[in-house]
Amino acid sequence: MNLRSKLATAAAAATIPLGLGMGATPAAAETTTPTSEVGMLAGNCGHYVSCTSLSNGTLYIKLSDGNIGYNMNIRTEYKKTGGSTISAKFGYSLKGSNYWSGSYSISSGQTKGHTWANAYPTGCPSAVGLLLPSGQSTFQTPPVTSCS
């Protein structure tokens, strides 16, 4: 089994079946397939990015350069492509703890997210993006890491 197959299998196993939108029936989350081996070094959707496709959009977790030492920023983002407007909290899971934003209103056609500055420490831990729509279960991304 090559690296692409192993990572795709691991990413698919990390997804949760969920649906978004008022009255939407739960749908299995589909992991987006990376376009290159380089993009798979730290996440399944690009360098320092992991994502999962949901019934009404795509959920991302992204790592970017911070400004304190070697710490990086963590951003959880949702690109909503369908369904009705939702109220949801963004979050991430790191080293066994979950961290949450306040609530955001997200309509079809919008991309919204929350950034935690300098929240990702050195040492290459795995982080998972979270989305908690009001009245629904938590959505999550496959893990992302800063190590290649």
pLDDT digits (tens, 9 = 90+) for 96-139: 999 999 999 999 999 999 999 999 998 889 999 999 999 999 99
Between residues 73 and 19, the one the model is more confident about = 73
Between residues 69 and 89, the one the model is more confident about = 89
Q: 74: number of CA atoms within 13 Å, CB side?
A: 27
The percentage of residues in the chain with a pLDDT greater than 70, rounded to a whole number, is 72
Task: Choose the CATH number for 3-140 among 3.30.2310, 1.20.120, 2.60.120, 2.60.40.
Answer: 2.60.40
Region of residue 81 (phi > 0: left; psi between -120 and 50: alpha; otherwise: beta): alpha
d(CA 11, CA 145): 13
pLDDT tens column, 29-54: 444 433 333 334 578 998 899 999 99
Closest CA to 77 of 46, 43, 49: 49
Contacts of 56 (CB under 8 A, 6+ apart): 19, 20, 21, 24, 80, 81, 82, 83, 108
C-alpha Rg value of the chain to the nearest Å: 15
d(CA 21, CA 112): 15
Q: Are 75 and 115 in contact (CB under 8 A)?
A: yes
Q: Which helix (H) or strand (E) holds 5?
A: helix 3-13
Q: Which helix (H) or strand (E) holds 53?
A: strand 49-54
